[in-house]
Amino acid sequence: MNQDELKKAAARAALAELAALPPHSLIGIGTGSTVDHFIDALAGSGTRIRGAVSSSEASSERLAAHGIPLVRLDDAETLPLYIDGADEIDHGFNMIKGGGGALTREKIIAAAAQRFICICDASKRVATLGRFPLPVEVIPMARVQVAREIVRLTGGEARWREGFITDNGNCILDIHGLAIADPRALESDLNQIAGVVSNGLFARRGADVLLLAAAERVWRGERQSSAASSR
């Protein structure tokens, strides 16, 4: 199986997670090619949900094209499940996300959800986060100042994702050259820089369940409760 087929397998496996939900539940939907496969699988599955809270314009368009109702987060009294991909995930289910630039809305919806289900192919599993450049969403007028602060804080290289504007009208700096020993601490420290909107470390709110597709099967794992309760 190639990488795209593995993404599709992880996405299909996520349908089973919906079976435990009461009929007509709302779910949160992330962004990216793996999530696109999930949206397509959901639409074709006959699974009855009331609607979806979407993390990006791209996912909203795809959901709408399938006739899946979009619901604003403000109108979602409970959100039992959030389904999203990742750029990297470690053994504690901490993640780097935001390769598609939707990290801020993803983080907001993940924070509101009771359960975060991460779907990805086995290439995303790492021992230490940081080989994938860590995205940081930044207010445009603060870009250069924030880049300097990031270099001072992390020792990494902050590269502007030129020509890319987030759905929130901001820019992205990608931090290259990291090996992240303490994801929770770095997530907090980056958020202290004036001008940072959010960063792509999902450690304070990591995944609860991982569906990881490898050639032989889709592996399902749950985060240890001690890690979950320290959130």
Catalytic residue ranges: 106
How near is the Cβ of 171 to ligand 5RP at its closest, in Å? 14
For strands 25-29 and 218-222, give the pairing. Answer: unpaired
Residues 6+ apart with CB under 8 A from 163: none
- Span 81-100, contacts to ligand 5RP by CB under 6 A: 84-87, 97-100
Alpha helix stretches (DSSP H) within the chain: 3-18, 33-45, 57-65, 103-112, 143-154, 183-191, 225-229
How near is the Cβ of 9 to ligand 5RP at its closest, in Å? 13
How near is the Cβ of 3 to ligand 5RP at its closest, in Å? 8
> How many Å is the maximal CA-CA distance in the chain?
51
- Interface residue with ligand 5RP among 32, 133, 195, 206 (CB under 6 A) is 32
Q: How far are the Cα atoms of 50, 79, 226 from residue 108, in angstroms, in the given order?
A: 20, 12, 23
Report yes or no: 82 and 109 within 8 Å, Cβ to Cβ: yes
Burial classification of residue 48, based on how many CB atoms lie within 10 Å of its CB (0-12 exposed, 13-18 middle, 19 or more buried): exposed
For strands 201-202 and 81-84, give the pairing. Answer: unpaired
As a whole number of angstroms, the distance between CA 208 and CA 131 comes to 23
Q: Which is nearer to ligand 5RP, 33 or 145 (CB)?
A: 33
Which segment (26-34, 44-52, 71-79, 220-228) binds ligand 5RP by CB under 6 A? Answer: 26-34
Residues in contact with ligand 5RP, shown as a per-residue x/- string from 34 to 73 under the rule CB under 6 A: x---------------------------------------
- Interface residue with ligand 5RP among 15, 21, 25, 33 (CB under 6 A) is 33
- Span 94-133, contacts to ligand 5RP by CB under 6 A: 97-103, 106
How near is the Cβ of 20 to ligand 5RP at its closest, in Å? 23
Q: Does 156 bind ligand 5RP (CB under 6 A)?
A: no
Q: Which is nearer to ligand 5RP, 85 or 206 (CB)?
A: 85
Q: Which residues of the shown chain bind ligand 5RP in the complex (CB under 6 A)?
A: 30-34, 84-87, 97-103, 106
